[in-house]
């Protein structure tokens, strides 16, 4: 089986594609973290006036926008809420992250398959013959 070797430009394109997928992977992980923080802060009635809680809620609002209103928010305690839309959104971002992770693994395998192995330099310098 003689597989056609890709050109050097194809390997560069594979590396660029892998870089883009790393960016998408990081985006999905950050989105999931914001959504989980916001979910638990709402569930346990975090004080909205604190700067950290405002930061998390504002960040999560951007990631939650496509999923807002899919499920109703349920009041659990006097001030605590169960936000099922945030849970659903975090699940979708996690599934996206798993798919992107698989793509990263595939691209890395392709790059390693076609890229020439790196030569490792000798650990100690060469000595002239006869010297120990």
Confidence at residue 14, expressed as pLDDT on a 0 to 100 scale: 87
DSSP, collapsed to helix, strand or coil, labels residue 54 as: helix
- Alpha-helical segments (H) within 1-132: 8-43, 51-64, 84-114
Confidence at residue 121, expressed as pLDDT on a 0 to 100 scale: 57
Confidence class of residue 88 from pLDDT cuts 50, 70 and 90?
A: very high
Confidence class of residue 120 from pLDDT cuts 50, 70 and 90?
A: low
Each residue of 36-83: pLDDT tens digit? 999 999 999 899 899 999 999 999 999 999 998 899 888 888 888 999
Q: How far apart are CA 98 and CA 93, in angstroms?
A: 9
* Cβ–Cβ under 8 Å, residues 99 and 25: no
Candidate from 4-8, 31-35, 65-69, 120-124 with smallest mean pLDDT:
120-124
* Cβ–Cβ under 8 Å, residues 53 and 46: yes
* Cβ–Cβ under 8 Å, residues 123 and 14: no
């Amino acid at each position: 089986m003689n597989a056609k070797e890709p050109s050097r430009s194809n390997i560069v394109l594979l590396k660029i594609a892998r870089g883009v997928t790393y960016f998408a992977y990081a985006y999905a992980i950050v989105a999931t973290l914001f959504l989980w923080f916001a979910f638990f802060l709402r569930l346990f009635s975090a004080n909205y006036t604190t700067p950290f809680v405002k930061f998390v809620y504002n960040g999560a609002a951007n990631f939650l926008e496509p999923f807002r209103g899919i499920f109703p928010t349920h009041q659990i305690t006097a001030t605590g809420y169960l936000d099922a839309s945030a849970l659903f959104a975090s699940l979708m971002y996690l599934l996206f992250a798993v798919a992107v992770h698989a793509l990263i693994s595939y691209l890395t395998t392709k790059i390693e398959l076609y890229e020439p192995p790196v030569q490792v330099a000798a650990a100690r310098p060469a000595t002239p013959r006869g010297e120990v």
